[in-house]
Structure 1
Amino acid sequence: MKARFYPPQKLLGVAFTLVACLGLASGQLNAAKPNVVLILMDDMGAHDLSGEGSTFYQSPNIDSIAAEGLRFKNGYATCCVCSPSRASIQLGTFPARNGITDWIGAKSGLEWTRPNRVLPAEYEHRLPDEDVTIAEAFREAGYGTFFAGKWHLGDKGSWPDDHGYDENKGGHDRGSPPGGFFSPYKNPVLEDGPPGESLPIRLAEETADYIRRHQDQPFFAMLSFYSVHAPVQTTKPLWQKYRELAPELPEGQERFKVDRTLPVRQVQDHPVYAGMVETVDDAVGVVLETLEELELAENTIVVFTSDNGGVSSGDAYATSNLPLRGGKGRQWEGGIREPLYIRFPAAIKAGSEDATPVTGADLYPTLLDLCGLPLKPQQHVDGVSLKPIIEGGSIDERPLYWHYPHYGNQGGEPNAIIQLQRWKLIHYFEDGRNELYDLDNDAGETSDLSLSNPAKTQQLWQQLDQWLTEVGAKRPEPDPRYDPKQTQEYYRRIQTANKQRLEDFHQRILKANWQPNAEWWGSFQTVD
């Protein structure tokens, strides 16, 4: 198969009136078994798309999925980091229940050596063999199953082909691409392409090839990009394009602001990251064009979402999630809010929107339901089918739960969350305090209402505490090595000298003579 090298941007023509005519009345789903293409991004934040309000990033192909389908205005990942969210999609359960509460490979217990008050809780390091994954459910129903891209749900013996996927291109235990985003990939289950071949384009072409080979039978294909995770890498032409498009920082304004633990990016102007967004958008276009070419688009469900918020602190400090607070690894909305779109021309009217809070755990029962397959309520116990919403109705109101008893590399603190109606309560395991936010009136989580509304705070905390106990959630324990002076000095260094290094580095990226290395597609990354 011939690989593409950064094809020109191809805007998908969105014929809104024509697509709207394809929307059928409630319940009239196509009698033929629908195909499914589930597209999962890595580290893409809620506002990292032009269709979600970014004036810097360009993503016409991804935007078209929302424009031609249903956009959930309150889409959520089930965790602020990757592995737990990915497990929820595969299993239909929240991290506290399935035990995968941190990215697999993170240190826990006494292996954690940073000077913090509690020890991160222990967690499961692979998908449980006894659980039935979404791929296994589709395979039981006679579907072909395919996986391409990032897995990060266990070591060998717990890779995609061990959990229901007939074919696996690139999914293994690593969370970031071993060779970066250009060939040679150094990936044990993906052959290298010519030097400099684009990884997201290659993964999209592998997916397109699978669709061509299986167009005469129903298929469930998951395209799980490594993008836009670190290392941030792009080509020189794309860097030049976005360097010229980057907004000028007003005189005296800083690019980073310290929020409790780490500096947090306040502006979208990283030209290398913007190039990554454009490239992965081109890759999504490859798959969408293949569905159109094969006349499969009408009866194919396309889902698009991400595994956690954009990286605004820690890692490469690459994007801003404003007006949402925080980002990947953090407990606020910037860490867990995601784009979540479902396009299904045979059943969904183009341009639909819904404000119901939904999560990645809902995809398992929703996709089975849309395909007319039997649900597995004993498996996807935390997910609910969104088919009633798709058919113009609603689902029962329910609480949503998050559990992250760990310290994030991006400055997050061990916490658990309950969200019910407009209220969001965050419980902190370090000292037992609670924060309460009214998301309807304060989406940026700037005003903690826990002291002014103690009754609601206590009610939600009791509900959250009871749920954590019922599902057997593991909680952090005090660290006997804790030294408050050492902790204070650790964060003082990060918030002063490290912050200045970040300001200097990210300013240099925008200089006309900047380059990461001689080849441009070698790794580079900022220091935490």
Structure 2
Amino acid sequence: MKKGLLIWFLFCCFSCGKKEVEKPNIVVILVDDLGWADVGANFPETFYETPNLDRMAANGLRFSQAYSAHPVCSPTRAALMTGIHPNRLNITDWIPGFSRNKEDWPLSTPSISHQLELEETTLAEKFKESGYHTFFAGKWHLGEEDTYWPEHQGFDQNIGGWSVGAPQLRKGEANGYYAPYGNPRLEDGPEGEYLTERLTDESIQFLRQKGTDPFFLYLSFYTVHTPIQPAPKKYDYFLRKKEKLTAPSGLQAYRQEGAGQTKLIQDNAAYASMVASMDENVGRVLQALEEEGLDKNTWVVLTSDNGGLSTLFNEGAPTANGPLRAGKGWCYEGGIRVPLIVQGPGLSDKGRVSETPVVSMDLFPTLLSLAQIPHQANDGKDLSGLIRNDDTIERESLVWHYPHYHGSAWKPGSALREGQWKLIHFYETGISELYNLEKDPGEMENLAKVYPDKTEVLQQSLMRKLRESNARFPEPRP
């Protein structure tokens, strides 16, 4: 055999024997307004029951100090989709936002973008470019016009994603979590159908019919956002459970938080049934992956877009965030610390708990790295090494910026976490608060006057970080 022919023969044999590496599938489950303490794996004292999420944590990796990019939904959703801080996207409030400028407010708040611009590169676009089938089901809330909805942001299919951030209640047209939904991207099911189950049905149908291509499935539940409408299967169960509930001695039901009230006890049976329904349907997705033989090559990530809704101007909040202070809408821990559980192939060990502070933007580079898809550096940190090998990540600080008023009684402010230290600055008063999260995760002891030098250093660091991220600030009214 001639030398050239021999080389060609050996090359062909090597190429034929070389098996192409199978691309992993990616499933992201985003639960709206799910609080850190709503999940049993985080807070065993919870009134709610989340056996499937707890099992997922036991089989995967749970982050005990995971944060949303923002205390409300749209900014976090945009950050997760792009890996970019909400400040750079100019989405620093939910779209279209709380009333911009009431005359009795001392500050005029900045305007925001009402959509995730098409020029931004999304996770779905990156996966689609790499041969993935991309599927979206649920809440989008990143554009008022349909030209900014999921099907224009990299998703092959969009089931239920449109402009609004919650199930609609319109007499004769929409019945919230029960069909009819009044949703232009979701055909109504039979009367009484529950939205959480319907979105899961659609996702499982996609899994069963997806074909041979790898897939990116983004199941973005509307639950457990208001309106609080009980899930039929477990409501009576939690009503009975509530009757047997005894509050800890001396614990008040509510605590004053600025001009608002923070709920301190988990006892809402309707909300508990919604959490249970969400958990059950997460279990259905995981079971479908197993039945289809996909679980061994699929990464599943579950998280929330902000903390639980525990603080309002009145006493109407549905949940409590355990030892954490305040809730959705606030830059205290209750408003930004969220569940984050990762399950998939290649974990260093199952049931591990990471205390590394991480944030929504990290999911963009992490998921792409797990799928071996090249990407440019952005505001997120790649956690794939931490997930696979328990590596450390280098990060100086985390920054939150909410320069608007909110229905939770929050007033414009920003926050910074650096190591164990957390600083919160309010723009109306110019006052900064300082907390040591290692010793005081409930942020009850303001140490600003005890450590004035530390407060000043962190204050300067916060303002520098905000300017670097193109933050826009509230201004005094004339």
Q: TM-score normalised to the size of structure 1? A: 0.82
Aligned partner of 2:385 in structure 1 is 388
Alpha-carbon contact 2:426-2:432 (below 8 Å) kept: yes
Aligned partner of 1:244 in structure 2 is 240
For the residues of structure 1 that align with 2:208 and 2:371, how far apart are their CA atoms? 20
Aligned partner of 2:414 in structure 1 is 416
**Deviation for aligned residue 1:433:** 1.3
Alpha-carbon contact 2:404-2:412 (below 8 Å) kept: yes
Q: Helix, strand or coil: the match of 2:38?
A: coil
Higher alpha-carbon deviation: 53-62 or 223-232: 53-62
Alpha-carbon contact 2:348-2:390 (below 8 Å) kept: no
**Deviation for aligned residue 1:250:** 6.3
Higher alpha-carbon deviation: 112-121 or 195-204: 112-121
Q: What letter corresponds to residue 97 of structure 1 in structure 2?
A: R
**Deviation for aligned residue 1:149:** 0.2
For the residues of structure 1 that align with 2:460 and 2:231, how far apart are their CA atoms? 51
Q: Helix, strand or coil: the match of 1:66?
A: helix
For the residues of structure 2 that align with 1:159 and 1:292, how far apart are their CA atoms? 31
Q: Deviations over 1:428-460 (max 9, x none)?
A: 111221111110000000111111111111111
Aligned partner of 2:201 in structure 1 is 205
For the residues of structure 1 that align with 2:312 and 2:198, how far apart are their CA atoms? 28
For the residues of structure 2 that align with 1:83 and 1:148, how far apart are their CA atoms? 16
Alpha-carbon contact 1:108-1:120 (below 8 Å) kept: no
Alpha-carbon contact 1:418-1:424 (below 8 Å) kept: yes
Alpha-carbon contact 2:84-2:380 (below 8 Å) kept: yes
Alpha-carbon contact 2:98-2:406 (below 8 Å) kept: no
Contiguous gaps of at least 5 residues in structure 2: 1-19, 169-173
Alpha-carbon contact 1:61-1:281 (below 8 Å) kept: yes
Work out whether 1:226 is the aligned partner of 2:217. Answer: no
For the residues of structure 2 that align with 1:142 and 1:174, how far apart are their CA atoms? 30
Higher alpha-carbon deviation: 235-244 or 151-160: 235-244
Contiguous gaps of at least 5 residues in structure 1: 1-29, 481-528
Aligned partner of 2:3 in structure 1 is none
Change (3 A) 1:182 1:345: same
Q: Deviations over 1:126-166 (max 9, x none)?
A: 00111101110111111110100000000211101110011
1:177 to 148, 162, 167: 167
For the residues of structure 2 that align with 1:251 and 1:389, how far apart are their CA atoms? 41
1:82 to 68, 73, 98: 73
- Aligned sequence identity (%): 43
Alpha-carbon contact 2:81-2:364 (below 8 Å) kept: yes
Aligned partner of 1:507 in structure 2 is none
Aligned partner of 2:184 in structure 1 is 188
1:126 to 115, 128, 139: 115
Alpha-carbon contact 1:49-1:57 (below 8 Å) kept: yes
**Deviation for aligned residue 1:236:** 5.7
Aligned partner of 1:374 in structure 2 is 374
Q: Helix, strand or coil: the match of 2:200?
A: helix
For the residues of structure 2 that align with 1:131 and 1:276, how far apart are their CA atoms? 34
For the residues of structure 2 that align with 1:74 and 1:387, how far apart are their CA atoms? 17
For the residues of structure 2 that align with 1:453 and 1:444, how far apart are their CA atoms? 18
**Deviation for aligned residue 1:106:** 1.4
Alpha-carbon contact 2:98-2:405 (below 8 Å) kept: no
1:459 to 454, 457, 470: 457
For the residues of structure 2 that align with 1:385 and 1:354, how far apart are their CA atoms? 15
For the residues of structure 2 that align with 1:364 and 1:303, how far apart are their CA atoms? 12
Q: Helix, strand or coil: the match of 1:459?
A: helix
Aligned partner of 2:148 in structure 1 is 158
For the residues of structure 1 that align with 2:193 and 2:331, how far apart are their CA atoms? 36
Alpha-carbon contact 2:404-2:411 (below 8 Å) kept: yes
Q: Helix, strand or coil: the match of 2:36?
A: coil
Alpha-carbon contact 2:42-2:64 (below 8 Å) kept: no
**Deviation for aligned residue 1:235:** 4.4
For the residues of structure 2 that align with 1:89 and 1:336, how far apart are their CA atoms? 14
For the residues of structure 2 that align with 1:240 and 1:252, how far apart are their CA atoms? 28
Larger gyration radius, structure 1 or structure 2: 2
1:148 to 126, 133, 137: 137
Q: TM-score normalised to the size of structure 2? A: 0.90
**Deviation for aligned residue 1:73:** 1.1
For the residues of structure 1 that align with 2:127 and 2:449, how far apart are their CA atoms? 48
Work out whether 1:360 is the aligned partner of 2:360. Answer: yes
Aligned partner of 1:340 in structure 2 is 340
1:73 to 64, 72, 79: 64
Q: Deviations over 1:476-506 (max 9, x none)?
A: 01134xxxxxxxxxxxxxxxxxxxxxxxxxx
For the residues of structure 2 that align with 1:245 and 1:408, how far apart are their CA atoms? 33
For the residues of structure 1 that align with 2:233 and 2:154, how far apart are their CA atoms? 40
For the residues of structure 2 that align with 1:134 and 1:283, how far apart are their CA atoms? 24
Number of corresponding residues: 446
For the residues of structure 2 that align with 1:227 and 1:393, how far apart are their CA atoms? 34
Compute the RMSD of aligned alpha carbons. 1.6
For the residues of structure 2 that align with 1:222 and 1:437, how far apart are their CA atoms? 36
Aligned partner of 1:497 in structure 2 is none
